Amino acid sequence: MVTSRNVADLKKGEIGIIKSFSDREMSLKLLEMGFLPGCEVRLDAVAPFGDPICVRVGGCYCLSLRRNEAASIVVE
């Protein structure tokens, strides 16, 4: 069974390729911050208590975002 995964589902160190966004409003912010479809995202670190998380986009820079924000980024 294939369910759609998102960035919040990634395990530490795991890499996902951005496929699409599930939240219309949020997608624009994420795009402008550099989350592009086709880009690699790696879960770098998780803050204590599991939220927010730190991800690396395209290998070159690090962004931190909350889990609910990360959940709107669908990856494959």
- In the complex with another protein, the residue whose CB is nearer, 9 or 44, is 44
5 part of the interface to another protein, by CB under 8 A: no
Sole binder of another protein in the list 31, 41, 71, 74 (CB under 8 A): 31
- In the complex with another protein, the residue whose CB is nearer, 54 or 74, is 54
SS (H, E, C) the chain: CCCCEEHHHCCCCCEEEEEEECCHHHHHHHHHCCCCCCCEEEEEEECHHHCCEEEEECCCEEEEECHHHHCCEEEC
71 part of the interface to another protein, by CB under 8 A: no
